Amino acid sequence: MKRKFFKDLLHLHKPTFNTVQLLGTIFCMTLILFVGYFLHNMSIASFGFLGVFILMYYENIPLKNLLLRFIFVTLFILTSFLMGALTSLASWTAPIAVGLVAFSGRVFFRLYDIKKPGVFFGVLVSSMATNINVSVQQVPMLASYYLLGAMVAIIMAIIIHFTEKESPMVIKEGKLYQRIHEDPNVFIDGIFYGTTLFFAVYLSYGLQLQNPYWMVVSCAAILQGDNLRAVMQRNVQRIFGTIIGIGIAALLLNTSLTTLQTIFLIVILFTTSQIAMRSNYALSAFFTTPMALLLSSLTKELNVPTLLQYRFVGIALGSLLGAFSAWLITTGLKFYNKSFDLHENFDKEPD
């Protein structure tokens, strides 16, 4: 069994993806990056990039449902960003804000069967926003950059929808209380997920990590696994993939790249990571790490050696925390799911 576990870590699956969706996402990313470049404002590129990510929620469903989904996801991620940004007024609220985003998003996305990445991007932007050094007055402008990217993504989603050759999937209708009745464990899952990320934020700030949101995002990514085995595999794959990715990032960041060259590299790394994601999770981490660091380099000067060290520490700690918490909750639920026959009921008459 252990042999199969480690064999699966390196197994390359045949990648399957919607080619039009992938090309559309690449186009949107490139467009936003160049808008920032030509307007000499790379904050547009960085925050618009986050908006384009909502295209990953695309599914071949009826257009009405698709638009409603994209509107909800856009507003949810925007709200997550605002909640994270407002914690700058009182830093002790950061774990609470991210925990609430994680809990509410986990519950809603599960109840309405909105598949991966689910709540992940909400956690990403909320935890990132707790760490941005901007004034409250600048937050609306940054939010508008995100909305620009989201609008481009929604337009592209409509185009992709009309290129589909197969009929849209039927969406299961149902009121909220019916969905809760059918999936009562959703709140246990939400509480576990939200509490874990609450502690991830708390620990990352307590350890005074540079860019503490890396630990939170890594923890959230690990908990995307469908079961304990998948979580444990992701843990090993993410740490291993990050080590290789840091090596690639060190090479690229120590090269004198122009802004234009950096943009082209980001697009190439993003494309490669999306294809690799469907083949092997560790392989995708080879490319996501340098892509994220190059994206950061567009808006601020980086101390490369220190940055790479903290990147690895944050990713490793977040991955280990996610794996440990998944093991803890799985073990606990198995214990409390045992049957307890109390030999009591109210129908028996006393002797």
Q: Examine residue 5 and state whether it is found in any structural domain, yes or no.
A: no
Are 224 and 296 contained in the same domain?
A: yes
pTM of the model: 0.86
Residue 88: C-alpha distances to residues 82, 83, 136, 144 (Å): 11, 10, 8, 19
Q: For position 337, what pLDDT does the model report?
A: 66
**Can you read off the two tokens belonging to residue 106?**
């986990």
Q: For position 8, what pLDDT does the model report?
A: 61
Are 211 and 248 contained in the same domain?
A: yes
Q: Examine residue 193 and state whether it is found in any structural domain, yes or no.
A: no
* 263 contact partners, CB below 8 Å, separation of at least 6: 30, 33, 34, 37, 45, 298
Backbone angles phi, psi at 225, to 5 degrees: -60, 145
Residue 310: C-alpha distances to residues 184, 214, 242, 249, 256 (Å): 39, 9, 12, 13, 22
Total domain count for the chain?
2
**What is the average pLDDT value for the chain, to the nearest integer?**
85
The predicted-structure confidence for 172-206, as pLDDT tens digits, reads as follows: 777 878 888 888 888 988 999 999 999 999 998 88
Q: Examine residue 102 and state whether it is found in any structural domain, yes or no.
A: yes
Q: For position 2, what pLDDT does the model report?
A: 53
Are 226 and 99 contained in the same domain?
A: no
Cα-based torsion angle of the residue sequence 135, 137, 138, 141 in order, rounded to the nearest 10 degrees: 160
Residue-range definition of the domain harbouring residue 294: 207-336
In DSSP notation, 218-244 reads HHHHHTTSSSHHHHHHHHHHHHHHHHH
The answer, yes or no, to whether residue 209 has pLDDT greater than 50, is: yes
Place 11 in a pLDDT band, splitting at 50, 70 and 90: low
Q: Examine residue 315 and state whether it is found in any structural domain, yes or no.
A: yes
Place 308 in a pLDDT band, splitting at 50, 70 and 90: confident
Q: Examine residue 347 and state whether it is found in any structural domain, yes or no.
A: no
CA distance 102 to 193: 7
**Interval 254-274 mean pLDDT:** 88
**Interval 113-129 mean pLDDT:** 88
**Can you read off the two tokens belonging to residue 233?**
């595999």
CA distance 293 to 295: 5
Place 293 in a pLDDT band, splitting at 50, 70 and 90: confident
**Interval 58-78 mean pLDDT:** 92
Are 332 and 300 contained in the same domain?
A: yes
Name the amino acid, one letter, at 198: F
* Nearest of 14, 64, 18 to residue 166 by alpha carbon: 18
The answer, yes or no, to whether residue 281 has pLDDT greater than 80, is: no
The predicted-structure confidence for 96-115, as pLDDT tens digits, reads as follows: 999 999 999 999 999 888 88
Are 117 and 264 contained in the same domain?
A: no
Helices marked H in the chain — which ranges?
2-9, 19-38, 42-52, 63-86, 94-111, 120-129, 139-163, 176-182, 186-206, 213-222, 228-253, 259-277, 281-297, 304-336
Residue carrying the six token digits 């990352």: 204
CA distance 213 to 231: 20
Q: Examine residue 306 and state whether it is found in any structural domain, yes or no.
A: yes
Are 108 and 212 contained in the same domain?
A: no
Q: Examine residue 344 and state whether it is found in any structural domain, yes or no.
A: no
Are 178 and 213 contained in the same domain?
A: no
In DSSP notation, 253-282 reads HTS---HHHHHHHHHHHHHHHHHHHTT-HH
